[in-house]
A and B are shown apart, each in its own frame.
Chain A
Amino acid sequence: MDHLTRLENKSIYIIREAYYQFKEIAMLWSVGKDSTTLLWLCRKAFFGHIPFPIIHIDTGYKFPEMYQFRDERAKEWNLNLLIGKNEEKLKEGMGPNQGSKLDCCNELKTNALKMVIKKLNLKAILLGIRRDEHGIRAKERYFSPRDSQFKWDYENQPAELWDQYQSTVEEEEHFRIHPLLHFTEFDIWDYVKREKLPIVPLYFSKNGKRFRSIGCVTCCSPIDSEAKNIEEIVEEIRISKTSERSGRAQDKENIYTMQKLRALGYM
């Protein structure tokens, strides 16, 4: 079995296991490359008919290309697509230029998700996070419990040996399930290429720039790149992997520093 097939099998096993364990389950789709890959794997796991809702948390500030892609795929793949929005805060004018970006993310993403989870009484959600994204994610589990405050107690997690996943849940908790944990950024692009997966065109180079990750218009900036198609992106990532990560590590340190200073009122 080749590398990508092995990754795919493992993910599909986890997706099916999750659906078997939890009736109240949904998948979170940001429309980016990772969660679109996860969506593709869910389709494969259930032979094209995903038996649970797909949730898109809409901050109202996403790229137009993303909305278009979302709606086209939802129709083409016959998805039970639900849109989660923090209408109240949006009405109050919350946005990236109103207040801090951290507050904006917190209200329009985290709290919007909290509302959806509560409304649908979800016990588990599938997410497309990868272990190589951040240092802290190295400690993540495939089945990762969260408390009612969304807190992740990473010091108190069940072991996951021989594909045995712990999935009992307290009243106030829900599970985050991460079927893509073992994929790297490179694996994702390689898989997208192999599967000929449709992807938001923002990832492809236009006038010498392309987006490496996509989200809200105001909080994303493109990188210098000439990669105009999947093949060229795969090649670019193969070569530039290390420098790309070191840049991200510094960004991440700055974000943590900012959070720490903020929590004590220094910013």
Chain B
Amino acid sequence: MKLFKGKEKKGFIIGIDGVPYSLLTTYIKNDIMPNLKKILNDGLAFHQMNASIPDISSVSWTSFNTGVNPGEHGIYGFTDLKPDSYSLYFPNSKDIQAPPFWEILGKTNQKTSPLCQDYCNKISHPCRSIIFNVPHTYPASPMNGILVSGFVAIDLKKATFPESAYAYLHSIDYLIDVEAEKAKEDKAAFMKSLFECFEIRKKAISHFLAEESWDLFFACITETDRLHHFFFDATMDKENIYHESFLRFYREVDQFIKYLYEQYRKRCPEKGFFMILSDHGFAPVKKEVYINRFLEEKGFLVLKDRGNFYERIEPHTKAFNLDPCRIYVHGEDAYPRGTVKKEEKTALLEEIKKSLRGLRGENGDEIIDKIYEKEEIYHGPHTRMAPDLVCLPRDGYDLKGSLEKKEVFGDNIFKGMHTWHDAFCILPENINFLKKPSVESLTEHILQYFTQ
């Protein structure tokens, strides 16, 4: 019988993009999410969790998927500069330097990582996974099962493996994402499109859940993140015209979680592995803070008027920022026009840190909460390409990478900003954490479950 033991195992993971622990706690208490409340009593524990640093979806989901830190997986943001140049590019799944857990479990991994080495020999039979709408998995790589990429996927065909899955998605007019551009022109229409997009997402998830066999099912809901970006001021404020829609969205999420949990239970009456998590939290925005403008005003950054993005960097530049707050020293050994010498770097970093700590909002609020040097938080072979400094802000101050701003502080249409400290996870209660869990610390428990 032992031969078949692995086959009985079922893992089920629901990702809800950008849902904060604190908001979920409140909504459970206020009976907005009664089904989730019930599920939590079924042998699960609910934790507050730290996101990756920086706390944006591409980095955080990649950290979860691979179970390692950016120094190992090589993804630091939605944007990066090509080596030894100022040209901006958009890292995608092909740039990830560590295998995701479904490739490890499916024995299809092309790359390796410390976590992979620990577990790859313990897998008795390859697991078949369905990975649905997980961010930063585009373009879809061949794997054991079905994969449909999430944000930022552009071409649905390239976002799908295998091709048969594409045929189905195409037939239902599947949407990869809402058009966030819409929110600028017509917020009410955008709200409506969030519900529509969620509908089609549910339809597709339910289809794969019902029609396909799987050992591991992992589906993400992205709409929550979009909802928060544009409507986070509506979370608790009864006067806000979108308050009811906001709550209705969470009620629908709650209903869907109930449905998924029942489906999972049907297939796995006992000893399964069930998990829900978000990749970062959210908080209301008071101001956007343009770090490059700040570096310019402090004399660290010099930009010429003409040129594309970072091509504008002049030789006297000492440091520059990539979104959200990844500060890179303009070293002579790293950039074509770089002038900062190796021996000057330590003093320069201290100087920048001091300036950043002194950054204050209109009413004297401190803006920067934490500043890390890369060696403090990143470990692994790809730490070389990491930013020299990474900052986390106080809630309310959204740090940004724009190069085009003429003021340090500004307003935008966004009502919510990401937070690092307020993501959440729900997982079996027998899993204990010695300290507050971080997003990449969860993955090992999935591998452990399947290799026990």
Contacts and interface: CB of A to CB of B under 8 A. Distances in A.
B402 A267 contact: yes
Interface stretch (B179-187, B274-282, B339-347): B179-187
B323 A256 contact: no
Interface in A92-131: 97, 99-101
Contact of A261 (B152, B155, B308): B152
Contact of B154 (A101, A256, A265, A266): A256
Contacts, number: 55
Interface string B215-227: 0000000000010
B330 interface: no
B177 A260 contact: yes
Contacts of A257: 90, 152, 154
User: In this complex, which of A149, A254, A261, A264 has the most chain B Cβ atoms within 10 angstroms of its Cβ?
Assistant: A264
Given A99-B404, A155-B173, A263 B305 contact: no
Interface in B60-108: 78-79, 89-90
B427 interface: no
B404 A266 contact: no
Given A155-B173, A259-B181, A265-B229, A253 B154 contact: yes
Contacts of A258: 90
Contact of B180 (A218, A263, A267): A263
B56 interface: yes
Contacts of A256: 154
A100 B155 contact: no
Nearest to B79: A267
Contacts of A97: 305-307
Contact of A260 (B151, B183, B229, B288): B151
Contacts of B404: 99-100
Interface string A143-169: 000000100000100000000000000
A186 B401 CA distance: 42
A114 to B, nearest CB: 13
B10 interface: no
A89 to B, nearest CB: 16
Interface string B407-422: 0000010100000000
A101 B180 CA distance: 19
Contact of A263 (B89, B155, B181): B181
A201 B330 CA distance: 42
B230 to A, nearest CB: 9
Given A149-B185, A253-B154, A267-B323, A260 B56 contact: no
B79 A261 contact: yes
Contacts of B229: 264-265
B400 interface: yes
Interface string B282-303: 0000001000000000000000
A251 B58 CA distance: 21
Contacts of A155: 173
Interface of A: 97, 99-101, 135, 149, 155, 218, 253-254, 256-261, 263-267
28 contacts: A97-B305, A99-B404, A101-B308, A135-B155, A149-B185, A149-B186, A155-B173, A254-B90, A257-B90, A257-B152, A258-B90, A260-B151, A260-B180, A261-B78, A261-B152, A263-B179, A263-B180, A264-B226, A265-B229, A265-B288, A265-B398, A265-B412, A266-B79, A266-B324, A266-B401, A267-B79, A267-B323, A267-B401
Closest 10 CB pairs of A and B: A263-B180, A263-B181, A257-B90, A256-B154, A253-B154, A97-B306, A266-B78, A257-B152, A264-B180, A261-B78
Interface of B: 56, 78-79, 89-90, 151-152, 154-155, 173, 177, 179-181, 183-186, 226, 229, 288, 305-308, 323-324, 398, 400-402, 404, 412, 414
